Amino acid sequence: MTQTPGIVVTGASGRMGQMLIKTISDSDKAHLVGAVEQAGHSWVGRDVGEAMGGAPLGVTVTDQPLEVIARAQAIIDFTAPEATLEFAALAAQARAVHVIGTTGMTPEQIARLGPAARHAVIVRAGNMSLGVNLLVQLTKRVAAALDEDFDIEVIEAHHRHKVDAPSGTALMLGEAAAEGRGVDLADVSDRGRDGITGARERGHIGFSAIRGGDIVGEHEVLFAADGERIVLRHAATDRAIFARGALKAALWGQGKGPGEYDMVDVLGL
Ligand code: NAD
């Protein structure tokens, strides 16, 4: 029997980390070889399955990522920007596929992934679900078909714990709209970071972020002109869609040449 790729999950105790561990342990296409948490975290040294409140999985949570990444074919990483940069260097050293779900990375931090991508496959996407990546493609097409009589607003809603705003997915949608329209996002948007800004320019691309309760993730792209509007909408109701997409990316990356890829490459959209 051929051995399936061994995968390390970083941020093991996180919302996505736990979902990834469950998805990988339920899969017959991959197996879990490591679970990483921050030094001092209460899960370090415990069996990850037991820490999650279930049956033991035979994998002990570690704060020493290099040891486990050295034995892995892929690392799936939904943590925080600076942590992700450290894991990128370790994944490059081990020639392991690095699937990055972490959002909120600055352009400068993203550029720092470049050296790692010369040695290993990096698949990075602000959203790993099939539906959202399709929505990105549709947004690009609709924006290309409409002129600047249509203002574009990206509206997103997430649970109250989400750190960054607008979401990585909202930014992907804004970039897609700008690309479709043939403009630079920075020229037509304030990226919504300062909240409601009052009147906006004709043809702008704007962002609005809603935070509350346990909302997994909702995104809407509104194309609004005088007299008519078009709405494209996606709702995630289960984090499993991101975990399944991330696992698919880890498997897709096996045997690919080093470089930076995204979910459009993985899904062949
Ligand atoms: P979370 O806060 O529940 O989990 C993050 C985990 O990372 C925590 O357990 C934390 O201890 C751990 N961590 C931080 N630094 C670490 C380090 N140096 N070493 C090891 N572990 C470390 O957050 P979450 O909701 O699971 O989201 C995590 C990230 O994934 C966020 O950036 C979020 O926006 C993003 N996300 C992306 C997608 C996608 O499809 N791309 C989907 C959902 C969430």
- How do residues 170-218 score in pLDDT, each as one tens digit? 999 999 999 999 999 988 886 654 455 667 888 999 999 999 999 999 9
Domains annotated for the chain, with CATH where assigned, are 6-128+239-267 (3.40.50.720), 130-236 (3.30.360.10)
pLDDT at 269 over 70: yes
Verify whether residue 162 is a known catalytic residue. Answer: yes
Verify whether residue 248 is a known catalytic residue. Answer: no
For residue 100, give the ligand 1 atom closest to its CA. 41
* Substitution candidate for ligand 1 out of 78, 85, 128 with most atoms within 8 A of CB: 78
> Ligand 1 pocket, 166 CB below 6 A?
no
- How do residues 27-78 score in pLDDT, each as one tens digit? 999 999 999 999 999 999 999 999 999 999 999 999 999 999 999 999 999 9
Residue 93, classified by CB atoms within 10 Å of its CB into exposed (0-12), middle (13-18) or buried (19+), is: middle
Phi, psi of 27 (to 5 degrees): -90, 145
Region class of 4: left (phi > 0), else alpha (psi between -120 and 50), else beta: beta
Mean of pLDDT over the chain: 94
- How do residues 94-147 score in pLDDT, each as one tens digit? 999 999 999 999 999 999 999 999 999 999 999 999 999 999 999 999 999 999
**Over pLDDT 70: what percentage of the chain?**
96
Beta carbons within 8 Å of 104's beta carbon, 6+ residues apart: 80, 81, 163, 164, 168
- The ipTM is 0.99
* Substitution candidate for ligand 1 out of 20, 79, 211, 214 with most atoms within 8 A of CB: 79
